[in-house]
């Protein structure tokens, strides 16, 4: 009897899977344990093995298509068996009618009325495979092609790295899993493509790939730019013919008819005779005309301007050198990592009600203990390792700090997975030290150093940055006195660790030199209260001021 094969749930967060590649085709014999297909989940690309024996009768999902968990993707049974009953039992009869592979003799295309619709092409007969943008992390929605390692026309092998793709977490290699000639590159270097978009096609040299481009893209026909309308260069020509300035009144008033006395008085008062209307015969200007003349608004403004422009007499002029600067800037596109940092931290800060509690810790005993530890330890123990171990121990005693807000419930994690913020050139990565409470200081030191190196080399995998229950951000190596950090949701808290400062402290009633480190706990008030945060810091303080407690 025919049996349906469903999309399995391959991770705890998986809701759908993408059929990256089929390893069997319709009519092939399948044994239990054979790899049917490669499925791309939200974590990684994994092999999907068959649990039944039989013949592959039906494939319901094309390569590159996404399918929800538990959806029917294939049918196995005896050769020649009718598989429609099995599909109908799963409610998939409609899909079967659409995707049923008919025998060759029944494939007669009916001539349709005159129209421009293209005839359907059997994509499976084309000797080429579509390479799509893979889902390389659980939060990835698009990827930027950082670099193509091959160009169109190059021969590629199934294990060759086709390109370097920049995600919101790191820059990772994309393997095509196909052998042949690189026929098409759909995304240029530096451009972004959404998950599952076509980025390349690999196949037999000379293959016509247009049907794959027409029918293989989920987003429809690729954009060809269209005809862009050029804007007319004759914009606002009316403004070019601006109104002409009115002719200014001539300053030369020597040809104006005026008596010598009127001319002298006008000169003393700075009056332009062209503005004065004469009252004597023939329009001649006399004394009374000058004395009764009222300057126009224009003349008053001009006089004020001249007065303001007059040089001010100073006792001693100061000569300053002339410096001419140039305003310059550089703009760069926002990387996937910076987009993710901006999105996630904005959501955290504006959604989770933060509050901050700071405490000073005497590090004299921790510094002395570290020196003794490094005398016998196989690896060098850092202050960050001591803080990490102390946090792991304290979290077991204060489970509310190790909790997570899930909307309608609060999850109290019994395991301790501590994220350690690592600065890289492009931004910030947070690898996770899992089950930190059960690991020794030497173990923690080695693991932190390995993760830091991977982060710098862009080799961190998505599963190495997931599942944290608490986070530590340490800026002590930069000599920072104090700072606050934004919670890495869904964690309830993050600890900001500052540098160790040599300051005077009071011990036994006397002021003595001391070494003090300030730590600030950022907490989500939806899950943690002030008293709980303070109690956690008290425990952390006691552990670091008496490091022997870490061994108990």
Q: Which residues are catalytic?
A: 525, 529
User: What's the rounded Cα separation, in Å, for the pair 505 and 511?
Assistant: 5
Q: Which DSSP helix (H) or strand (E) runs through 194?
A: strand 192-194
User: What's the rounded Cα separation, in Å, for the pair 207 and 121?
Assistant: 14
The residue among 403, 465, 460, 474 whose CA lies nearest residue 432 is 465
Asked if residues 253 and 247 have their Cβ atoms less than 8 Å apart, the reply is no
Structure tokens at 345: 């931290």
What is the full DSSP assignment across 508-531? TTEEEEEEEEEEEEEEETTT--HH
User: What is the rounded radius of gyration, in angstroms, for the C-alpha atoms of the chain?
Assistant: 40
**What separation in angstroms does the CA of 36 have from each of 8, 332, 521?**
12, 44, 50
CA 526 to chain centre: 27
User: What's the rounded Cα separation, in Å, for the pair 514 and 506?
Assistant: 9
What is the full DSSP assignment across 141-184? SEEEEEEESS-TT-EE-TT-EEEEEE-SS-EEEEE----EEEEE
Ordered strands of the 66-68 beta sheet: 45-49, 35-40, 16-22, 66-68
User: What's the rounded Cα separation, in Å, for the pair 86 and 517?
Assistant: 68
User: What's the rounded Cα separation, in Å, for the pair 470 and 466?
Assistant: 11
At residue 201, the 3 state secondary structure works out as strand
Asked if residues 378 and 442 have their Cβ atoms less than 8 Å apart, the reply is yes
Asked if residues 152 and 185 have their Cβ atoms less than 8 Å apart, the reply is yes
- CA angle, corner 71, sides to 70 and 73, nearest 5? 120
User: What's the rounded Cα separation, in Å, for the pair 137 and 231?
Assistant: 44
User: What's the rounded Cα separation, in Å, for the pair 123 and 213?
Assistant: 10
User: What's the rounded Cα separation, in Å, for the pair 537 and 541?
Assistant: 6
Q: What are phi and psi of 59, to 5 degrees?
A: -120, 120
Q: Where are the beta strands (DSSP E) in 406-449?
A: 410-412, 418-420, 422-424, 427-429, 432-433
Asked if residues 39 and 17 have their Cβ atoms less than 8 Å apart, the reply is yes
């Amino acid at each position: 009897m025919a049996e349906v094969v469903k999309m399995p749930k391959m991770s705890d967060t998986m809701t759908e899977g993408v059929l990256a590649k089929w390893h069997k085709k319709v009519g092939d014999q399948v044994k239990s344990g054979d790899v049917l297909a490669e499925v791309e989940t939200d974590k990684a690309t994994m092999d999907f093995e068959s649990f039944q024996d039989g013949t592959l009768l039906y494939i319901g999902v094309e390569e590159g298509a996404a399918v929800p968990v538990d959806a029917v993707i294939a049918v196995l049974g005896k050769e020649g068996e009718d598989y429609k009953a099995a599909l109908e039992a799963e409610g998939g009869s409609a899909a079967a009618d659409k995707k049923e592979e008919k025998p060759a003799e029944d494939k007669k295309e009916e001539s349709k009325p005159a129209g421009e619709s293209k005839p359907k092409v059997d994509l499976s007969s084309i000797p080429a495979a579509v390479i799509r943008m893979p889902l390389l992390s659980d939060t990835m929605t698009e990827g930027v092609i950082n670099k193509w390692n091959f160009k169109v026309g190059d021969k590629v092998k199934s294990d060759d790295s086709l390109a370097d793709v920049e995600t919101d977490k790191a820059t990772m290699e994309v393997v095509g899993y196909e052998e042949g000639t690189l026929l098409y590159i759909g995304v240029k270097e530096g451009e972004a493509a959404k998950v599952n978009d076509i980025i390349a096609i690999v196949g037999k040299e000379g293959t016509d790939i247009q049907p794959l481009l027409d029918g293989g893209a989920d987003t429809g026909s690729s954009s060809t730019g269209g005809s862009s309308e050029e804007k007319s260069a004759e914009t606002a020509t009316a403004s070019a013919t601006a109104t002409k300035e009115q002719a200014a009144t001539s300053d030369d008033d020597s040809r104006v008819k005026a008596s010598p006395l009127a001319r002298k008085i006008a000169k003393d008062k700075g009056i332009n005779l062209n503005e004065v209307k004469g009252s004597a015969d023939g329009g001649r200007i006399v004394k009374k005309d000058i004395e009764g003349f009222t300057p126009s608004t224009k003349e008053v403004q001009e006089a004020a301007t001249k007065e303001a422009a007059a040089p001010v007499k100073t006792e001693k002029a100061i000569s300053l050198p002339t410096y001419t600067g140039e305003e310059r800037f550089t703009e760069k596109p926002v990387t996937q990592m910076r987009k993710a940092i901006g999105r996630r931290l904005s959501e955290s800060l504006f959604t989770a009600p933060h509050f901050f509690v700071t405490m000073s810790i005497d590090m004299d005993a921790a510094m002395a203990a570290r020196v003794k530890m490094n005398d016998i330890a196989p690896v060098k123990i850092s202050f960050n390792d001591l803080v990490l171990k102390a946090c792991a121990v304290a979290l077991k005693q204060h489970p509310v700090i190790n909790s997570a807000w899930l909307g309608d419930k609060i999850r109290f994690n019994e395991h301790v997975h501590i994220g350690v913020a690592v600065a890289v050139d492009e931004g910030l990565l947070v690898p996770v030290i899992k089950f930190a409470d059960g690991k020794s200081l030497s173990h923690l030191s080695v693991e932190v150093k390995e993760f830091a190196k991977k982060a710098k080399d862009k080799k961190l995998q998505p599963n190495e940055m997931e599942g944290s229950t608490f986070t530590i951000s340490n800026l002590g190596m930069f000599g920072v006195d104090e700072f606050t950090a934004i919670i890495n949701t869904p964690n309830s808290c993050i600890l900001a660790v500052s540098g160790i400062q040599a300051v005077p402290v009071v011990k036994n009633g006397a002021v003595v030199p001391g070494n003090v480190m300030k730590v600030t706990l950022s907490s989500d008030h939806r899950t943690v209260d002030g008293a709980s945060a303070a109690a956690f810091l008290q425990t952390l303080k006691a552990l670091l001021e008496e490091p022997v407690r870490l061994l108990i």
